[in-house]
Amino acid sequence: MRAMLIANPKATSTSRRARDILVRAFSGDLDLVLAETGHRGHATELARRAAVDGYDVVITLGGDGTVNEAVNGLLAEGPSADLPALAVLPSGSTNVFVRTLGMPSDPIGATRAVLDALRAGRYRTIGLGAASHPGGTERYFTFCAGVGLDAEVVREVERRRAAGAPAYNSRYAMTALRHLLSGMDRRHPALTLRQPGRPPKSGLFLAFISNTAPWTFMGRLPVNPSPKANFSRGLDVFGMRSLDVVPTLSAVAQMLAPRTRPVQGRHVVNVHDATEVTLSADRPMAFQLDGDYLGEQREVTFRSVPKAVRIVI
């Protein structure tokens, strides 16, 4: 079985020595090629080459950004049953995608799980989300997207990482709090959510789009605005029409509590199992996919892509 291991040498939690141990573990079962990423978008290029060259499996060793790039490389020509399967080894700071799949959150444990699955021929085909905006190309996401506050937080954390600061969970939380209190307009909501055949929902300050649950993690604690989101269904959306203290704290408390219902409240908007939603804004708004900041847009359309990629699990 031919496999390409795409490794991000800048990922948060895996040393080169640990990576070499993982490579040796796989080499006994696979005809393995190691490919290290050297720049943003490189994992997309490598995964696309693996698909064109007929590899059986693509294995990522990195964070959620590396997984996202690899998925977009694999699906560069669209979903197909002939594409390589995807196996994921976590070495980022949060590793949301691996954890939502129920895989071990450490690379050694995940390697054992992937090897067991490969030997037993266990795969799971999951749906993805896809996002597009006028003048841009469509891009897939695995677990979440966002327009507004969360994307602004990702932008700020990425700026600090580029300056050498580590991306700890606490940094995301503190950046979100600081930005909410002093860095964003909390009086003039800019977003309108539209679904085909349904009335628009306007007056939104932010929107989280979920392809699975939870939306993210804060340390070991899941953050869950849309607990019914699932890889086998459409997209879920959570939005807020107010960022005043009381409704915001209520929403955050519900996201952090164990629950099976979406966040509730008179300032909350929920959409479940949507095939397609469009978020438009009266001013450019920050936008992110899988924790990767993608600039500011006035309009982004998100759609569900069923049975898009095979996962080794």
Share of the chain above pLDDT 70, in %: 93
Q: How confident is the model at residue 49 (pLDDT cuts 50, 70, 90)?
A: very high
Query: Can you tell me the mean pLDDT for 272-296?
Result: 96
Lowest mean per-residue pLDDT among 49-58, 221-230, 243-252: 243-252
Query: Can you tell me the mean pLDDT for 50-66?
Result: 96
pLDDT of residue 167: 62
| Mean pLDDT value across the chain | 92
Dist CA 282 CA 280 (whole Å) = 7
Q: What is the CATH number of domain 131-306?
A: 2.60.200.40
Dist CA 6 CA 34 (whole Å) = 6
Q: How confident is the model at residue 63 (pLDDT cuts 50, 70, 90)?
A: very high
Query: Can you tell me the mean pLDDT for 277-293?
Result: 96
Domain ranges of the chain: 2-121, 131-306
pLDDT tens-digit readout, 238-270:
999 999 989 999 999 999 999 899 999 999 999
pLDDT of residue 21: 87
- Is the pLDDT at 210 greater than 90? The verdict is yes
Q: How confident is the model at residue 62 (pLDDT cuts 50, 70, 90)?
A: very high
The H helix count followed by the E strand count for the chain is 8, 16
pLDDT tens-digit readout, 11-34:
766 677 778 888 899 998 999 999
pLDDT tens-digit readout, 148-181:
989 988 888 888 777 776 666 656 677 777 766 6
Which residue in the block uniquely carries the two structure tokens 């359309």? Answer: 301
| Token pair of 1 as six digits | 């079985």
Say if residues 287 and 64 touch (Cβ distance below 8 Å): no
pLDDT of residue 191: 98
Dist CA 199 CA 194 (whole Å) = 7
| Same fold yes or no, 2-121 and 131-306 | no
pLDDT of residue 163: 72
pLDDT of residue 245: 87
Query: Can you tell me the mean pLDDT for 112-131?
Result: 97
Q: What angle do CA 88, 91, 93 make, to 5 degrees?
A: 120
Dist CA 239 CA 300 (whole Å) = 15
Say if residues 212 and 229 touch (Cβ distance below 8 Å): yes
pLDDT of residue 181: 65
Q: What angle do CA 57, 136, 300 make, to 5 degrees?
A: 95
Query: Can you tell me the mean pLDDT for 219-242?
Result: 96
Place domain 2-121 in its CATH homologous superfamily: Probable inorganic polyphosphate/atp-NAD kinase; domain 1 (3.40.50.10330)
pTM: 0.93
Query: Can you tell me the mean pLDDT for 184-200?
Result: 91
Lowest mean per-residue pLDDT among 54-58, 156-160, 237-241, 283-287: 156-160
pLDDT of residue 13: 65
- Is the pLDDT at 232 greater than 80? The verdict is yes
Share of the chain above pLDDT 90, in %: 77
